[in-house]
Structure 1
Amino acid sequence: MDVDHEAKSSVGGCFLISSLYTKCVQANSHVSMYNRRMPDEQVDIVNEQDEVLYSTSKQEAHKKGLLHRTVIAEVINSDGNWLLVKQSSNKQDAGQYVSPIGGHVQAGESTSEAIKREAFEELGISRFTFKLKGKCIYNRTVSGRKENHYFIIYEIRSDEKPILNEESESFKKFSPKELKTALRKSPEIFGDAFFPVIECCYPDLLKL
């Protein structure tokens, strides 16, 4: 599982969540709701209890370091292998492996709607099951932006072949053993934001 396929920061408390898988079945076609987002995309500003305070632009949220929601998903196939993507050269974690799905929750959008949208936008997948794994607060300053994100973390189960968008240059599948070894021996190959997700929801991967 070691072949590429073409196609640290501040972390808040973690809240583990156990829930049943939800089945997602959507038409496998690109429609307007899945088009790339506008630069003035609106997001909900939340407090540390994930309660909505008000809405503003994503640009303003990053400029002022306001806490807002982001959905993250780890994708695991029926063999138990993890799918990670290598970020494109123009992204903040260029050349590093990151969670294959991650994006802002739009103002008024539910997190389950957001994870379906992001899964289609970033991997082209639409037939999968998913469950909520946990939540944590993650912040860092990158490229002059103050990223202050309320991570809402999902696990997706899917065997669909990914179709990458421009944000990723390749993907790689890791067995749990391979991922655990890489996290210990070669942590530099992973983007910073991958670690709080693992610490929050998959801590066994970090144990010796």
Structure 2
Amino acid sequence: MLQPPVILVNEKDEPVGTMEKMEAHQKGLLHRAFSVFVINSKGEMLLQQRALHKYHSGGLWTNTCCSHPLPGEDVLAAAHRRLQEEMGFDCGLEAIFSFTYRAALDNGLTEHEFDHVFLGVYDGVITPDAEEVLSHRFLPLGTIRRLLAEEPDTFTHWFQLAFPKMEAYLENKEKGGE
């Protein structure tokens, strides 16, 4: 069964083509992705544990949801779509930062993504798709920081890279900064 295509991009996030998702990961080609971080009104972050059968990083903890926009799909619209599909809710999202990373995965695949990071606030009901999500939980930022230091292998590679940037953004925002 063919996977949906991803948008291949250059280092400036300019589209250079499309490719079937698995092939792009097998070849380690740079493609557009997004990561959604959701916090509640207490400032706790919503993490998901990826379903065990995911094509990579199964069983690992990560941000609220992440995926790839489809060709022709706006990244923010894709983030809203996947948040609803994976976690069963939607909320306002704000673009915070983007970064590029490359990571060899344990199954011979390579993540090479230009990742757009979004932040939302949500306190309502969460009804995750069991095909996508094994578990979920809200945790204080300090607890996440401690777990990342003590048990890094239980988190996805991209989360380990993005969390410090998101934490710094949230702390700066709390102090009244931008």
CA drift of 1:137 comes to: 0.9
More contact order relative to length (CA 8 Å, sep ≥ 6): 1
1:72 counterpart residue number: 35
| Bigger proportion of residues as helix | 2
**Does residue 170 in structure 1 map to residue 155 in structure 2?**
no
Could you tell me the TM-score, scaled by structure 2's length?
Answer: 0.84
3-state SS of 1:154 partner: strand
CA drift of 1:79 comes to: 1.5
2:174 counterpart residue number: none
**Does residue 133 in structure 1 map to residue 96 in structure 2?**
yes
Please give the alpha-carbon distance, in whole angstroms, between the structure 1 residues aligned to 2:3 and 2:149. 39
Out of 88, 105, 114, the position equivalent to 2:51 is 88
Please give the alpha-carbon distance, in whole angstroms, between the structure 1 residues aligned to 2:157 and 2:104. 11
Unaligned runs of 5+ residues in structure 1 are 1-37
Contact between 2:38 and 2:119, CA under 8 Å: does it hold in 1? yes
Out of 141, 147, 154, the position equivalent to 1:182 is 147
1:125-148, CA deviations, whole angstroms, 9 ceiling, x for partnerless residues? 02x111011111122222222221
1:151 counterpart residue number: 115
Contact between 1:135 and 1:200, CA under 8 Å: does it hold in 2? no
Please give the alpha-carbon distance, in whole angstroms, between the structure 1 residues aligned to 2:108 and 2:38. 30
Out of 158, 161, 172, the position equivalent to 1:193 is 158
**Does residue 56 in structure 1 map to residue 19 in structure 2?**
yes
CA drift of 1:176 comes to: 2.1
State the one-letter code of the partner of 2:40: N
Could you tell me the TM-score, scaled by structure 1's length?
Answer: 0.73
Unaligned runs of 5+ residues in structure 2 are 171-178
Contact between 2:152 and 2:160, CA under 8 Å: does it hold in 1? no
Please give the alpha-carbon distance, in whole angstroms, between the structure 2 residues aligned to 1:98 and 1:59. 20
Please give the alpha-carbon distance, in whole angstroms, between the structure 2 residues aligned to 1:53 and 1:78. 40
> Percent sequence identity over matched residues?
28
Please give the alpha-carbon distance, in whole angstroms, between the structure 2 residues aligned to 1:179 and 1:187. 10
Q: CA RMSD in A?
A: 2.0
CA drift of 1:59 comes to: 2.8
